[in-house]
Structure 1
Amino acid sequence: MPKAAPRPCTKVGCGALVHDGSGRCAKHPKPVWNKPVTATKRITGRRLQAMRAALFAAHPLCAACERQGRVALATQRDHITPLAEGGADDADNVQGLCEPCHEVKSKAEAVRGLRRSRFA
């Protein structure tokens, strides 16, 4: 089977050709992501299920939609301040969101995370 044509390294400013299909030359390996030591530990299991049920029982509507005058059922448990940005995993830092609002908020958080990692 023929090999793919070599491509330039994806590191900005590097013009070295990459033959192995990884996208990066030997001088510029992709950085490995590791969870920060200071990251908040997530709640899981039955405790999380109970917290979700309590949240949706107390606040069944999407918080973001309510702020905009819309009505939508909350289906996602969302951290107001993301855990990656120092938020706590407790009842004071959660809200119920509908799927579309949660997706928009999550994408914005991902962009902020990428910017933090590039400029840190």
Structure 2
Amino acid sequence: MPRKPKRPCRMTGCPNLTDRKSCYCETHEKTMQRHYDHFMRGYDQHERYGNSWKKIRDRHLAGHPLCEQCKEQGRYVLATLVHHIRPLSDGGTHEESNLMSLCVSCHERIHQRKAPK
């Protein structure tokens, strides 16, 4: 199957071509991710979600492998993300009662973003 043609890097003045999803070349992708993390997210994700979160997330997904919202609708879809029902920024915790296993599309719907294609 033929691949899509490469596009120019989105960084102004960069002559490189890329086929990356971010539309930035290898040189500028990390720079733009740091910029996004600092200015758009407003917090350091590694500070909020450390190694302990990975263990909690993995344990929750092992115990709840199906997307909880899809399951309510009678569909059985494998969950890949763990969502905080009450966000950490609003005083939520990593407790089991505050976590929900979701597929990508349900998680994006909750956050009102478009699901990746």
Tell me the TM-score normalized by structure 1.
0.50
Mapping 1:40-59, distance limit 5 Å: 42-45=48-51, 47-59=52-64
Percent sequence identity is 37
Count of paired positions? 72
AA of the residue aligned to 1:71: Y
Q: Equivalences for 1:98-117 in 2 at 5 Å?
A: 98-107=103-112
Alignment of 1:28-107 (within 5 A): 42-45=48-51, 47-107=52-112
Task: Give structure 2 stretches of 5+ with no counterpart.
Answer: 1-38
Q: CA offset at residue 103 of structure 1?
A: 0.2
Q: Which has the larger radius of gyration?
A: 1
**Structure 1: where are the runs of 5+ without partners?**
1-31, 36-40, 109-120
Q: How far apart are 1:74 and its partner, in Å?
A: 0.4
Conserved in 1, the CA contact under 8 Å of 2:67 and 2:78?
yes
Higher deviation after alignment, 78-87 or 65-74: 78-87
AA partner of residue 77 (structure 1): V
Aligned-residue RMSD, C-alpha: 2.6
As a proportion of its length, which structure holds more helix?
2
